[in-house]
Amino acid sequence: MPDQPLSPQNASPVERAVMGGLGAGMIAVSLRRPGPAGLMFAATGALLLAGASMGRSVGARMVGIRRTPDDGIAVEKAVTIGLPPEDLYAFWRNFGNLPRFMNHLESVKVQSDGTRSHWVAKAPAGTHVQWDAEITEDQPGRRIAWRSVEGTPVPNEGHVDFRAAPTGRGTEVHVSLKYRPPGGSMGAAVARMLGEEPGVQIAEDLRRLKRLLEVGEEPTTEGQSSGRRNALKKAEAKMFDNGRTA
């Protein structure tokens, strides 16, 4: 059972219109082209048109983007960490700690009133996004919920739950987030493929949090010896060793 309601449709209205148009266009082209090429066009066009009419986005499906009924992108990730819920809550509630494991966050500054905070994050292509958020729910040792305030470029809201894991395994940290990216689910799908989408980032953030708290450091092979000399060979290895970048 997901933490938040999800829409069976994962394509935004704009995407449905664009993809539907493209599909109809390809079917029209196929009518003028006999042979295998025409058949390919017809089949692809039919697929796109069907997807658009049902509200299913092929791209979003492939990269696993999920939408909420009110047009947001839903992200749910969880990790189990071998510490008591109180410790995890305390670590997280001190928002200044968040950039220590959320690589895309530059800073989080809590305002004097204690519930409002200012967030600065790295965005795709070297840009930055900033927003203000307020705490909407704060249950010590159990849950923190927040929402971005009016006028945010990427409106978002979410909560993190800390639940005791069974048989002394520590704490399950459940993050549930909803956001509205520029470009809707298409934008989110592109960001996901570039590794810059919150769903990808949060999974990696939670892994970093676990490693930070359980071991005190991230394992790395950055800078180790190898028999790779030229840039092409180095890039080949880098392609596999992408777990710690993002």
Name the site residues for other proteins (rule: CB under 8 A). Answer: 80, 82, 169-170, 203-204, 207, 210-211, 214-215, 217-229, 233, 236-237, 240-244
38 Cβ contact list (under 8 Å, min separation 6) = 29, 30, 31, 32
Closer to other proteins by CB, 122 or 211: give it: 211
CB of 72 to other proteins, least distance (A): 25
In angstroms, rounded to a whole number, what is the distance separating the alpha carbons of residues 160 and 142?
8
Element (H, E) at 117: strand 116-123
Closer to other proteins by CB, 82 or 182: give it: 82
CB of 169 to other proteins, least distance (A): 5
> Contact at 8 Å (CB) between 108 and 128?
no
Closer to other proteins by CB, 78 or 203: give it: 203
Q: In what order do the strands lie in the sheet with 171-179?
A: 66-67, 73-81, 171-179, 156-164, 143-148, 127-139, 116-123, 105-110
CB of 74 to other proteins, least distance (A): 20
CA nearest neighbour of 40 among 50, 29, 52, 51: 29
Closer to other proteins by CB, 137 or 214: give it: 214
CB of 149 to other proteins, least distance (A): 33
Q: Which two tokens stand for residue 121?
A: 């994050």
Closer to other proteins by CB, 70 or 240: give it: 240
CB of 238 to other proteins, least distance (A): 9
